[in-house]
Amino acid sequence: MAQQQIVFIGGGNMARSLIGGLVADGYPAERIRVSDPGAEQRDHLAQRYGVAVSDDNSAAVADADVVVLAVKPQVMRAVVTDMADALAARKPLVVSIAAGVRERDLSRWLGYDGPVVRCMPNTPSLLQSGVTALYPNADVDADQRDAAESILRAVGTVIWLDDEQLLDTVTAVSGGGPAYFFLFMESLEAAATARGIPADKARLLVIETALGAARMALESSDDPATLRANVTSRGGTTAEALGVFEREDLKAMVDRAIGAASDRAAELGDQLGAK
């Protein structure tokens, strides 16, 4: 990505993670600006990363090539409409990492046709271990796609989608996914401690097992079903445990859960767009 002027509107956790990733990857700090109403937040970002800071959104975006909207979804409309005139003068690439705020609503609030990329990162992005799905509108060109991808790749893996509605399912799968894995880990810990393993040792067993399984899935060319079959001996202990999951219809339960979360994501999108 060329050394464009990147402006972050909002300096919270995800913005800090993106900025930290960009700077660590060698992107010049002097080409990054952050606008945030909090003086303490601004001071922290300036001192830690050497970026320019501002408390005036409209002034901050005056020379922007890329604007990253990193504010809470509930305040997005007010933030965007307040600086829409400043953005219209230059029509920079607008990248939104706000969950649930749809591209059509962002474009409506901007009041002009311009390049917008909507993103759905997940919380492991805070550790540069996330995955982010991106959806571009029709005004985003190839160079702008590269720019958006470079920014989000600073915190993990990225994928592109051609259908914005799929972001509701992404929200359900990868957005909520860490919580689902945490619940399963919590359940494994509880089962281990109930059978006498000390809590600290049970936690270590579960965390290292989860990490190892994830690495095997990531580094293998086999799909999860094949990997599962490879570690399951007929008549063995693993087969016995998997039999319980199958009888309880775990796959159907997961499907219902993802459907419920996806439907809720769509409802929240409707509500945010109506405000």
Identify the DSSP state of 90. Answer: T
Identify the DSSP state of 172. Answer: I
Structural domains in the chain plus CATH codes = 6-168 (3.40.50.720), 175-265 (1.10.3730.10)
Q: Are strands 130-136 and 116-120 parallel, antiparallel or unpaired?
A: antiparallel
Residue with tokens 């990248």: 95
Residue with tokens 């402006």: 7
Give the length of the chain. 275
Report the phi/psi class of residue 10: left, alpha or beta, with left for phi > 0 and alpha for psi in -120 to 50: left
Cα 158 from Cα 151, distance rounded (Å): 10
pLDDT at 274: 81
Residues 77, 88 contacting (CB under 8 angstroms): no
pLDDT at 268: 92
Question: pTM of the entire structure?
Answer: 0.91
Written as one string, the DSSP assignment of 107-138 is HHHHTS---EEEEE--GGGGGT-EEEEEEE-T
User: Tens of pLDDT along the chain (275 residues)?
Assistant: 668 999 999 999 999 999 999 999 999 999 999 999 999 999 999 999 999 999 999 999 999 999 999 999 999 999 999 999 999 999 999 999 999 999 999 999 999 999 999 999 999 999 999 999 999 999 999 999 999 999 999 999 999 999 999 999 999 999 999 999 999 999 999 999 999 999 999 999 999 999 999 999 999 999 999 999 999 999 999 999 999 999 999 999 999 999 999 999 999 999 998 86
- Rounded to 10 deg, the angle between the 103-110 and 250-274 helix axes is 10
Handedness of CA 202, 203, 208, 211 (dihedral sign): positive
pLDDT at 275: 64
Cα 209 from Cα 63, distance rounded (Å): 49
Residue with tokens 């965007």: 80
Cα 20 from Cα 75, distance rounded (Å): 24
Residues 152, 158 contacting (CB under 8 angstroms): yes
